[in-house]
Structure 1
Amino acid sequence: FNDMLRGEISIDWSQVDLQVLLKADGMPTYHLANVVDDHLMEISHVIRGEEWINSAPKHILLYQYFGWELPVFCHLPLLRNVDKSKLSKRKNPTSILFYQRMGYLPEALLNYLGRMGWSMPDEREKFTLAEMLEVFDIQRVSLGGPVFDVEKLSWLNGMWIREELSDEQLADRLQDWALNRDALMAFIPFAKQRMETLSDIAPLGSYLVSGMLPITADQLISAGIEEDLLMEVLQFSLWRLEAVQNWQRDSIFEALKRVADAMGIKLKPFLAPLFIAIAGNSASISVMDSMNLLGADMSRARLRHAIDVLGGIGKKKLKKMEKAYQAIG
């Protein structure tokens, strides 16, 4: 079949598996539903990731069986981590809300995403969405897997802050981002009980307007849990919290307590390293309240950061931990 970006693509039929189109209950599987939906929506161009290339022959056959006109197919390269592995939340936060919470400008993030596998004709790195639209040509997309590098994004974001925002505009952005009345009102009920002077608000709440905290392995280990078990506490907590849909204090507490009970650890020592991972020290407000204020994406990212600070988890060890996690339900 012909691909808009890659030209003629040939796939050996041995690589195309037999596909169930209707389940026993009469419900269509993805492949059938996808083709029917695209046709009924009058989709002219199917632009998707390259992992769908091997499914294209199935979809083309379905179009032919139904007697429908084929759309134009275009399979784009996948985003990669710095180590060239497929982009995943294990190595790079993939939620757009995380980058908003970190303080990246929308313009800078759009600019950076626009550079993923594509470049301006004049090769300049900083450009607006309007400037990109003026000259965009999908044929300029490179087939080499573009690397999503947070350090490069931060560099570009800094350029936008310094070159595009006046001091007044930067003050407005900071206020809209986090330094506003709503954010203060959410934190004050917790901070007020710990304050003796107005200046106490800064050390009490600085972790709420920070990115990844400068914590150390020694800090995490000092929480009192043996190192191998400590890694399980952090990873099991992360997995459980990734399943929490309704992100609020009671749901967070229930999720963490279930893990602590299943691991046979009393709640107070179980939560100790989470305090450090989330707030940078063990003297902050309740870790559940902190997570609620930070939001799901930042909280999960800080747990992943704490795991990385301890040296990370290799593939073999991760598989063992997955089995152990499944065993505790």
Structure 2
Amino acid sequence: HVVRAIEHLSNTPRQVFIAQSLGYPLPIYAHLPFVAEPGGPAKLSKRKLDKYLKQKDFASLFAVGQTLAQRTGIAVDQETFNPVIVGFYRELGFLPDALLNYLLLLGWSLDESTEDFTRQQMIESFSLARVTKAPASFDPQKLVAFQARWMHRLPLEQKVAMCWPYLASAGCVDDAQDTSKSPHYTRVQQIITAADDRIKLAGDILEFDDFFVADGDLPYDPAAFDKRLKQDPVAADLLRQFREQLSELAEFTAASTEACLKQFVESQGIKFNQIIHALRVSVTGKAVGFGMFDTLAILGQSSSLARIDRALSLM
């Protein structure tokens, strides 16, 4: 078989004539449809980046790459660091199997419902008979969905191995050959476990860089700090009182901090959200994140208290 892109269809008659004139046996030719640009029929091209960036999902994916490049020192070149180029996905931490799985379904399907294939299943299932004639559009959002499913299925140790280089490049952890011996190893495991599906790409681990910042250097999202701490008339008083409750815990776990907060809320006669948002901003510097009690447990008692104290001092 000669399997190639549809653009070579026009070359085929000439090649057939040449082969026949030389007395060579003819192969079976198969011409596959090209990958079309997002939302259009034209062929996907690395030279049309400016056009594609007007499409929301494509622009979002590109922005993720730009942010990651800034954090890790990746060289940004439009010719190579571009969502049309395979290397872009390698840099962001996409799994090869996820990318292959998605590309397989651009112009081919096994049936009306099956989407996930291992490499062996791809080999066993693929047939030219089910290749479509029409080109399929590249959908960044669907590609990320495939990546998220593949990432979710990985064992914890493999996720750590994938995420570690990004943390090391950003200066969050040491660049150790044997990561299991690093003092940061357990914390990285805990973060990945708590973040769960929030980590779709290996590079997403950098969204939780606040866990690796020295307590006295924690940066705050200005808008979140202003809204949840400075503008809230009772935030400082509630935080100060709850901080004392946390300091008295003999065991500092997700379960114990949750029980402590529930008891505090009941004793104060307040609603849960009157303290939880201020607490999150004070210990992470951010308005959103994974479970608050997992966050406190991962930081530990000493860091949690130090960060609350610092937030209070800045109010």
Which has the greater radius of gyration? 2
Shorter-chain TM-score tier: 0.3 to 0.5
TM score, norm. by length of structure 1: 0.40
TM score, norm. by length of structure 2: 0.42
